Amino acid sequence: MERYDLIVIGAGPAGLSAGIEAAKHGMNVMIFDENHKPGGQLFKQIHKFFGSKEHKAKIRGFNIGTELLKEAEEVGVKVKLDATVTGIFENKEVTVNHDGAIHHYKGSSVIIATGAAENMVPFEGWTLPGVIGAGAAQTMMNLHGVKPGKKILMLGSGNVGLVVSFQLLQAGCEVVALVDAAPRIGGYGVHAAKVARTGVPFFLGYTIKKVEGTEKVEGVTIGKVDEHFKIIPGTEIHFDVDTICVAVGLSPMSQLLKMSGCAMEDNPRRGGQVPIVDEYGETSVPCLFAAGDVSGIEEASSAMIKGRMAGLRAAYKTGFAEENLMEQNESLFEKDLDSLRQGMFAPCNRGKLIEKTD
């Protein structure tokens, strides 16, 4: 059984940031990720981040990913890819499926940063080929250079729906409409304005009634909803499309945390079933942490900060970081996170056009 000071599960923005911060304090860190490339969602994000320079403003997501990978290599973080963590047990033991075999590892501390999975909504025809998650469309375009379709309808006006709609247009696809059952746009106005300027129509207060086709998507009918989100007869609108992209939110991939035995809760504001954690991401199991979307859905910028906070706290709890240094750095991280949550990414700014930033 191989042993490490810190085992991180997930090589996305939170996991890499946690590993980097811990390694800076002398910890021997191993990161496992089931994908064949590290970086998580960052390498699908071709748009520039916005906000302040402390939060990577004006830097494209894939460039931020490249910076994190370089920093991880420089501080000696080990990353094992195509490695699926299948279990976590008492005493911080994990089992990993790699190279066709199950391997056992033990960490003095463990940080789970497994991220989130796309939600799906059922409607007539939702299982037809051509109905895909917006994140899947983003993967096809930005990682593999493949157009998801020619004529596309986007369901969902949150940040994912807005950003992916614009990227679909950049890839040469036609976005025929952006549809959302809510009465107002769910994402930030700066993203919505970019899509609106291209002429894509927004249908707020509408949802999908049915998708037409036999072996694949050939069309879609939407309808206006009442206060109970039931489609009002006579309001139906038809579109000829070959693809439906669904962007209706994310759910934390918290299965490993539940397996670990830590205290959990159903919290809709954080995205679903999540671990109960303190301000540093530590669960009810000592030296077991959660970082990033697995502990509550937020932005990649928040995930990186929370990852560093968890990595620093893990270093302190295992004797690698002195208390005064930890308190000083944690104060800076908390300030950055509060600035992020109360500024550009504050709930009160959803749907608003940001005209000026720091």
Residue 272 has a pLDDT of: 92
Contacts of 127 (CB under 8 A, 6+ apart): none
357 occurs within a structural domain: no
Domain shared by 106 and 131, yes or no = no
Residue 341 or 158, more confident: 158
Domain shared by 164 and 146, yes or no = yes
* Alpha helices, DSSP H, located in the chain: 13-24, 61-74, 134-142, 159-170, 189-196, 255-260, 300-317, 323-342
Domain shared by 6 and 35, yes or no = yes
Domain shared by 189 and 299, yes or no = no
pLDDT digits (tens, 9 = 90+) for 315-332: 999 999 888 887 777 777
315 occurs within a structural domain: yes
Domain extent, residue 41, equals 2-117+250-349
CATH of the domain at 260: 3.50.50.60
Domain shared by 107 and 138, yes or no = no
- DSSP assignment of 92-116, as one string? GEEEEEETTEEEEEEEEEEEE---E
354 occurs within a structural domain: no
48 occurs within a structural domain: yes
Model confidence at 199: pLDDT above 50: yes
Burial class (CB in 10 A: 0-12, 13-18, 19+), 90: exposed
Which of these three, 246, 262, 277, is where a domain ends? 246
144 occurs within a structural domain: yes
Burial class (CB in 10 A: 0-12, 13-18, 19+), 320: buried
Domain shared by 190 and 146, yes or no = yes
**Number of separate domains in the chain:** 2
Which of these three, 226, 246, 266, is where a domain ends? 246
pLDDT digits (tens, 9 = 90+) for 94-152: 999 998 999 999 999 999 999 999 999 999 999 999 999 999 999 899 888 999 999 99
Per-residue pLDDT, averaged over 183-210, amounts to: 94
230 occurs within a structural domain: yes
pLDDT digits (tens, 9 = 90+) for 90-105: 889 999 999 899 999 9
Residue 58 pLDDT class (50, 70, 90 cuts): low
Model confidence at 63: pLDDT above 90: no
Token digits of residue 115: 């991220």
174 occurs within a structural domain: yes
Residue 203 has a pLDDT of: 98
Residue 51 pLDDT class (50, 70, 90 cuts): low
Domain shared by 89 and 198, yes or no = no
Domain shared by 201 and 290, yes or no = no
Domain shared by 169 and 68, yes or no = no
306 occurs within a structural domain: yes
Residue in the structure block whose two tokens are 């890839």? 171
- DSSP assignment of 272-311, as one string? EEEE---TT-B-SSTTEEE-GGGGS---HHHHHHHHHHHH
Q: Report the C-alpha gap between 92 and 164 in whole angstroms.
A: 38
Which of these three, 217, 246, 275, is where a domain ends? 246
pLDDT digits (tens, 9 = 90+) for 234-288: 999 999 999 999 999 999 999 999 999 999 999 998 899 999 999 899 999 999 9
